[in-house]
Amino acid sequence: MSNLIHNFAHRISRETGYKDTGIISFGLQSLFSLISGYAVLGLLSFILKVFPHAIIAAFVSSSLRVFSGGSHASSSLRCTVYGTVMFLALGGIAAALAAFNSIFLFVTLTILIALPAMVAIFKYGYATTHKKPLNSYAHGRKLRTIAITVLFAWLITIAYLLYYHFFSLSSRVFIASILTGIAWHTFCLTPLGHKVNEVADKKLQKLRVS
């Protein structure tokens, strides 16, 4: 697969005149990892009957991660395996939460998850490509602002569903899945999240997952 991506990158380079094939290859690899990761997650979550829960949680987490960073595995395959396992688990948690018909529970969870999420983005937001905290340079601060804006967009969505459609099971599925996605992203930003990721990465390496 790496050879195919490499050849395709060179073809794009020739046709566009853009000489840095390394950047093109990285972009193609990232796109392939994203698509394959969601495809595997979608299939397994469908089999385990947590499809909407896992996919929504993954999408919410990814929408925040792209701007505020987070822990990463040392290879795209290990990242996909680790992420798939965790989002299947989060999908199960979201499915269990959605069964509760208590608006007080969901309002409480929203507050308990939203506040640490905002703190984590401000305190631990880290640009992987720049290898430095978001608050240490102008573009990083812009990314942090976008991440907070995305977080508030998800929280506004939750507030709307809580107020107008809470007693619909599909709405509770959406709310629970958004909350688990935010919670997971928050954890991935913290030092403990990075430590757990390192442990999982080493375990996968021992299992010869490349």
Domain boundaries, the chain: 1-36, 48-206
Q: Helix %, strand %, coil % for the chain, to 5?
A: 80, 0, 15
Higher pLDDT, 205 or 58: 58
- Tokens at 150, concatenated: 């995305």
Whole-angstrom CA distances from 87 to 37, 43, 79, 142 are 11, 12, 12, 28
The pTM for the full model equals 0.86
pLDDT tens per residue across span 32-54: 777 888 999 999 999 999 999 99
What rounded mean pLDDT belongs to the chain?
85
Q: What is the SS3 string spanning 52-65?
A: HHHHHHHHHHHHHH
pLDDT higher for 113 or 138?
A: 113
